[in-house]
Amino acid sequence: MADVDFTYKIIVLRLLDKASSPISNSKLADFFVENGYTDYFSAQTAISDIVESDMVNVIKTHGTTSYTLNEEGRNSLSLFMDKITEDIDSDIDSYYKNNEISIKQEQSVSSSYYAISPKGYRVTCQIKDSKLSSVLYEVNTVVMSEAQAEAICNNWKAKYEEMYFHFLDELTK
C-alpha cells in the first residue's frame, strides 16, 4: 500500500509538471477518480502530503486552492520518473486534452477578498486572458461586511460573463 501511495504522490507531481497553468485541488483529485486510480480521499491525502513536503507552490483565492510545481517538486519528480508508466502519462495527456477548456476557465476567472479595516473588505474580481497572460477585466470594490464580500465572490463565477458584456455594452453605446 505504501508503494501505491508513493506512486499517487509522483502522479500529482507529474500532473503539475505537465500543466501549463496552476491546477486546482479539485482538478487534481478529479484526475484520480475519473481514471479509476483511487478514490477522492486517497487523492486528497497524496495532494496534502505533497503540499506538506513543500514540493508545490500553493495559490489560494476565494474558495479555490491551486498548485504549481516548484523546484523541490521538479527535483523529486526527476528522481522517481520511473514510477510514471507510459499508460499513466497517456492518461495525464488525455485528461488535459479533455479538460483543457474547464481548466483554463477555472484559472481565468477569479475572485478574492481581504479585510482592510475592522468593518471593511476589499473585493477583487478578475477575468484573465491566458493567451495574453494579462487581466482582461477587473472589478475592485470595498464593502462593509464579510458576508457581502463572500456573496460577491460566490456570485462572480456564475455572473462574470453577464457583467463583462453589460460593461462593454454600456460603455460602447
| Predicted local distance difference test score (pLDDT) of residue 106 | 65
Give the up-direction half-sphere exposure of residue 103: CA atoms within 13 A in the CB hemisphere. 23
- Indicate if 65 and 147 belong to the same structural domain: no
- Indicate if 73 and 151 belong to the same structural domain: no
pLDDT, tens digit, 9 for 90 and up, residues 46-69: 999 999 999 998 877 766 788 889
Q: Domain range holding 9? A: 2-105
- Indicate if 86 and 150 belong to the same structural domain: no
Domain CATH for 155: 3.30.160
- Indicate if 41 and 96 belong to the same structural domain: yes
| Predicted local distance difference test score (pLDDT) of residue 87 | 94
Domain boundary among 52, 87, 105: 105
- Indicate if 31 and 92 belong to the same structural domain: yes
- Indicate if 14 and 58 belong to the same structural domain: yes
Strand partners, 135: 128
| Predicted local distance difference test score (pLDDT) of residue 107 | 66
pLDDT, tens digit, 9 for 90 and up, residues 93-132: 998 888 876 776 666 788 888 889 888 999 988 888 766 6
* Residue 78 confidence class, pLDDT cut points 50, 70, 90: very high
